[in-house]
Structure 1
Amino acid sequence: MTTENPLTHLDSKGQARMVDVSAKEHTVREARAMAVIRMLPETLQLIVEGKHKKGDVMATARIAGIMAAKRTPDIIPMCHPLMLTSVKVELMPNLENSSVDITARCKLVGQTGVEMEALMAASAAALTLYDMCKAVDKGMIIDQVQLLEKKGGKSGYWIRKGDEV
């Protein structure tokens, strides 16, 4: 009885490898991920009112997220370099929870998915907010980094339970 290793980044000897996707079909692929950064209400107010002394914190975080998606294979060792066709990063202040809710969406036509790129975009945007605001609020918390949805490829469509529209 043989069992195939479900961890595709390991060969039969357990050594790390980049998966060969050359035989995979080119399909439209899309992924959506999120992150949340919680902070003091005063910190969020500075951001929302545009009074942070470092400038437009949200615009900088958005750009950082886009750049991170494009550089994912430089950070995550077994990720393929991808020709992304779209990266969108949305940052929504949440006054009720004293947080910024970040959603990243990545898209391409290719042979492998873009889940890691979406996760990197959301994470980098949150980290950038932290970096730019740490002088006024070192207690910020980044959490809920997660894949929300993916489309395309052999495995088709997947959505996190509870996120169905």
Structure 2
Amino acid sequence: MYFDPEKPRVVYAGVQITRDNSVLLGMKLRGFGTGLWQHTFAGKVEKNESLEGAAIRELEEETGLVVGLQDIVPAGYIEYEFSDPGLVPHIMQIHIFRALRWVGEPRCTSEIRPEWFNIQDMPFSHMWRDNAEWLVQCLRGERVQGYFLYSDLQTISTQQIQFSSASSCQQFQSSSLTM
């Protein structure tokens, strides 16, 4: 159950970049989440933009990496809600894609500093708390669907997580998450 089902929803989309046993994380340099490593290069979906189009655009804006529509696959769907509307006044609906291929080398931007990490050495103490609950499984190919209610910037008061195999044909959507 949502903490406040009347809150507006804002849709975000982004791309995860992995190679071998490593993941490209982004240190947030400004904006919401400054000082934390981000698992996905993501941003708001703009009016008349597809989820995939937004994810591809955000990846290029934040890292300089280029992917095509045929180069991304769905990896997960996460909803974030904060009980204090002063922190975030809406429910964040994050659609996560994984890149199969990309062109270019990651570069630092004014918003993000990308850096490769071994999946075994994830900097969870410098990431959003929920990442420790699902990220490694997602990076290893499981699809994730979740809901996290934060009571402040550090504390998760409610969570729900579901995993499925990457071969599952179920498309995660907000309407399929039971609360």
TM-score, shorter chain, exceeding 0.5? no
Larger radius of gyration: 1
**Normalised TM-score (structure 1):** 0.28
Q: Larger relative contact order (C-alpha < 8 A, sep ≥ 6)?
A: 1
By percentage of residues, which structure has more helix?
1
By percentage of residues, which structure has more strand?
2
**Normalised TM-score (structure 2):** 0.27
